[in-house]
Structure 1
């Protein structure tokens, strides 16, 4: 499989603290790669370097072969990188449809329409995105009244508004009930594989990680300590010592 995302030898320090030291990763189209590790392992710093919120001290980030290292987040988004966050970020007073229309307007750079998306942005595209995530029936409801699991689906639709080649998902199932977690990750995997979208996600729920990731990369103190298929990573002695051995084989770490 060809690589959608390639990050090579990423380093980032804050003062004398090496938050990330020598991380290399690769995600192919349609693949789900989980980035895991104990608190302070460097996962968020890696995400922020990939997304352009932080510039690496050294190393390189390439999206579909193009160098995006240190590019501003808005430019990274326009290059085809979608992102979801641990805590959902939607406009609660606006409808589900309007939230997705806002993302479409931004993607098309029609900022002059930003405060009047309804009627100016054809709703067909927004409705198609909501259909993909199972939320078309709730298009007219304000986001502020939705259940949390439904908000996560809306956020996924928003992340898909720029036709991403890569999805960065920061703890996508945080705060969700177990059944909702499984449903969301099954939906994400199906969308990724059907659309050839590469997915990199962080997650503390090991049932989610081992149940849905194609490969897993484990960090500890900013350094990679294991990478491979879920069963190989689960059996790795060092991973069990620094992470899974804490009792995190089920539920939250």
Structure 2
């Protein structure tokens, strides 16, 4: 790193993971800076999920290291990693359908603070203002009193984002944040993530199959293919990389800038 460059939030070094004779990850290395929106893409089976799950603590690598703010977190339990400042959203949003949007975020805040309670009545008074603030930031404040089960899909994804922010993470992992959305909803969602990345100084690592989202909003793109890192650079550099075209299109000369 240069003298003026900020220290990376996340450093992934030489990650390797085998499943029997299949090498899911083969020496993958990259880093993410504060305020950076980094896309991790690749064809099916490229190793994206294994990489995410190692960073999150759900998998142990066979070799390599993950560092958060310079601290080795490789192999720590997911809950411990979360408390060190790593948030995550999932391809299929995970919320409590019977609770209101506000209650979902309150629960996330209480869990992040490690507070224990026995009765829901006292608990629902806890962290109310902080929960409302997170709903406001994610554009869901008007839905605070609605049951999560009654929300539109795009609103559920934004609610899950508010819940992921409850732990005040410095790194946010987002697994296909716009999956299942229309083109208009995709653009609105990733624009929201980009604003939060800048305003909070978050480092965001996201996987995504919608190339309009990736190439329209990512600061940088990392590409995996068959477990190996084949590209790491700007949108323009990755779009023009022959190795990336080969991985996605089998050598066909065409652009990968459109949504599949």
* TM-score interval, normalised by the smaller of the two chains: over 0.9
- Equivalent position of 1:202 in the other structure: 207
Instruction: Name the TM-score, length of structure 2 as normaliser.
Output: 0.94
Residue 6 (1) aligns with residue 14 (2): no
CA distance in 1, matches of 2:82, 2:47: 22
The DSSP-based 3-state class of the residue aligned with 2:9 is: strand
Deviations 1:74-100 (A, max 9, x none): 001101000000001100010000000
How far the C-alpha of 1:8 sits from its partner, in A, is: 0.3
The DSSP-based 3-state class of the residue aligned with 2:17 is: strand
Task: Decide which of 135, 138, 152 is 1:133's aligned counterpart.
Answer: 138
The DSSP-based 3-state class of the residue aligned with 1:3 is: coil
Extract unaligned runs of 5+ from structure 2.
1-5
- Equivalent position of 1:69 in the other structure: 74
Q: Given that residues 98 and 118 in structure 1 are in contact (C-alpha distance below 8 angstroms), is that contact kept between their aligned partners in structure 2?
A: no
Task: Decide which of 206, 212, 219 is 1:214's aligned counterpart.
Answer: 219
- Equivalent position of 2:3 in the other structure: none
Q: Aligned in 2, Cα 1:113/1:157: closer, same or farther, shift over 3 Å?
A: farther
- Equivalent position of 1:105 in the other structure: 110
The DSSP-based 3-state class of the residue aligned with 1:89 is: coil
Q: Given that residues 82 and 162 in structure 1 are in contact (C-alpha distance below 8 angstroms), is that contact kept between their aligned partners in structure 2?
A: yes
RMSD: 1.4
Instruction: Name the TM-score, length of structure 1 as normaliser.
Output: 0.96
Task: Decide which of 176, 186, 207 is 1:181's aligned counterpart.
Answer: 186
- Equivalent position of 1:89 in the other structure: 94
The DSSP-based 3-state class of the residue aligned with 2:229 is: strand
CA distance in 1, matches of 2:36, 2:64: 23
How far the C-alpha of 1:112 sits from its partner, in A, is: 2.3
CA distance in 2, matches of 1:73, 1:117: 28
Q: Given that residues 102 and 117 in structure 1 are in contact (C-alpha distance below 8 angstroms), is that contact kept between their aligned partners in structure 2?
A: no
- Equivalent position of 2:258 in the other structure: 250
- Equivalent position of 1:169 in the other structure: 174
Q: Given that residues 166 and 199 in structure 1 are in contact (C-alpha distance below 8 angstroms), is that contact kept between their aligned partners in structure 2?
A: yes
How many pairs does the alignment contain?
Answer: 252
Could you list the runs of 4 or more consecutive aligned residues of structure 1 that deviate by over 2 angstroms after TM superposition? 111-120, 244-249
Q: Given that residues 110 and 127 in structure 2 are in contact (C-alpha distance below 8 angstroms), is that contact kept between their aligned partners in structure 1?
A: no
The DSSP-based 3-state class of the residue aligned with 1:11 is: strand
Q: Which moved more, 1:52-61 or 1:113-122?
A: 113-122
Task: Decide which of 225, 232, 236 is 2:241's aligned counterpart.
Answer: 236
The DSSP-based 3-state class of the residue aligned with 2:174 is: strand
How far the C-alpha of 1:235 sits from its partner, in A, is: 0.2
Q: Given that residues 113 and 120 in structure 1 are in contact (C-alpha distance below 8 angstroms), is that contact kept between their aligned partners in structure 2?
A: no
- Equivalent position of 1:52 in the other structure: 57
The DSSP-based 3-state class of the residue aligned with 1:161 is: helix
